[in-house]
Structure 1
Amino acid sequence: MSELLQTLRPGTPVMVADPITFRDYKLLLRSEHFIKPAHFHKFWKLTRHTAKAVGVDISKIGKPLETHLREVLFFDTPKFRLYNHGFILRRRMFYKKGLPQSNHELTLKFRHPDRHTAAAVDVRPLLPCTHTIKFKEETLMEREKLGSMRTIYSHGCDLDTPNVILTQNFESITQVFPALLQTGAKAKTLLSIVNGVAIEEILANCGEIDFGNKVTAKATLAIWRNRMTQEHLVGEYAYQIKFSSLNGFHGKPRELSEAFFMRLQEDAQDWLHIGTTKTAMVYGLGRTPVTNTE
């Protein structure tokens, strides 16, 4: 199954390892370059120019560059026990016409550069509930090196509109996600919003990239700002390829997807933000030591 949508009983053993069913390509961008709608269009044209140069096509899907507003919050202990052990606990709220919607998404991820280490962590919730497991291969740029690629693996679980209060103690969240017990945090340690920063996310639809042989990727452009101060934080251009098996993603489509990623780094170098991930940037805004070097 490409997405494992399951309802499990407590304690049900996972007999089959989750397969990798996504490859995400991600490039960090300087968010201050995206102030006006015209700036989004300028970058859209740049990506189409790059696509043409490497022999792929980007087509419009839905309303081109249609934007969506979302709020993103990360939760952790005061000493960042979760993130420093490779875990990310995130809540995403959705807005429509400026108004918050009743549904929200709670996500637990474990990220690691080693595929087998990421696969070994069972991110499923303890109690029976509908959840979605996503195991992704994420392709990023090498730190401060244009025209490069590196890989980290993300093993995640999404819960839709969970009835969970995240500012309670650590013990409460481990009753939802027992995998977090691996962090060794004390039961009564309180969780809070990472560095007190609520993130305003502007997500734009950047079309669909066709790599041939029916392999396509949905492209998006996300801009993150501090919701309270409106300070620009970071942007990200990403495209995601979904498949039934990583072994089935090979040949010309894979070569073209990588060629586009490499060439775009060169063509868009004035737009690039040199860093690692959006999450890493948010964690780095405060003074708490961060040992996670994703």
Structure 2
Amino acid sequence: MRGLPADLAASATVAGHRLGWAAVRRLPERAAYRLFDAVADVTVARGGAARMRANYARVRPELDDAALDALVREGMRSYLRYYCEAFRLPVLDRDAILARVRVEGDDAVREVLDAGGSAVCFLGHLGNWDLAGAWGTQFLGPVTTVAERLEPEEVFREFLEFREGLGMTILPLTGGPEVFPALREAARTPQVIPLLADRDLTRQGVTVDFCGLPARMAPGPAALALAERRPLFPVSIRHERRGRGWGIVIVFHPPVEVPATGATREKVVAMTQACADVLGDAVRRYTSDWHMLQRVFVDDLDPARAPAAAP
């Protein structure tokens, strides 16, 4: 928080999250959504959605300023809706979760699990992936995923406990055991491994064509699928109206093909590109559900952020 010493700002952030966990659960659902819509509108009005607007402008270049402004407003509302739903998730029972989720294309994933295998999923920051994870643990199979370590540490712990409370196994991206070996171990048992990959959090990312522009994405899902010979499913998530409230649609797209020839790195890049193609189509169609407030396109990145050498 601007103007506060670091330790006080961290304490205020933790207190704010804990207040959110407690207070939003007690509000009627419609009132909670209206409150978060209002916060989203204020955020946009105060210029807090500049990066979202820049990203939307790149994937939807046909929009004029007025249409882009309207889309950003809806995007920020969708982004805050994610938090509203996250704060309320711990009080939802199985029936309530099921009522909020519609699924398409999950038959192929269920076949993999029923055969004793695991399914690796390539996700973007679309819709509500925590609600999707909660649905998965209840109605699909065990879920193991990776979480970016947030600052301050107390906030990361809050979200870690929240997601584990939903039934998911969470591996911290940094500050814990090596992630890739742990994921390989997980992939050897029947479970779903969804990984957010539309943003490069390390220097190991690969450059792909995303909505017609070069962007950096994480190679982890493709590398894991190749290493353990598991299918790689692109997955898109979007919000949809449910009566007076909201729900989500989880779409399991067909698994991407594994190139017959080429070095491992080349196969990883090709499979990541195939996932980026699917994700790009979803982002163009449901742009307001893409909650990307960071830089992903190469032209927006620091020039010093060069690709790492191939492992």
| TM-score for both structures, normalised by structure 2 | 0.26
The answer to which structure, 1 or 2, has the higher relative contact order (CA under 8 A, 6+ apart) is: 1
Q: Looking at secondary structure, tell me which structure has more strand per residue.
A: 1
Give the number of the structure whose residues are more often helix, by fraction. Answer: 2
TM-score, normalisation: structure 1: 0.27
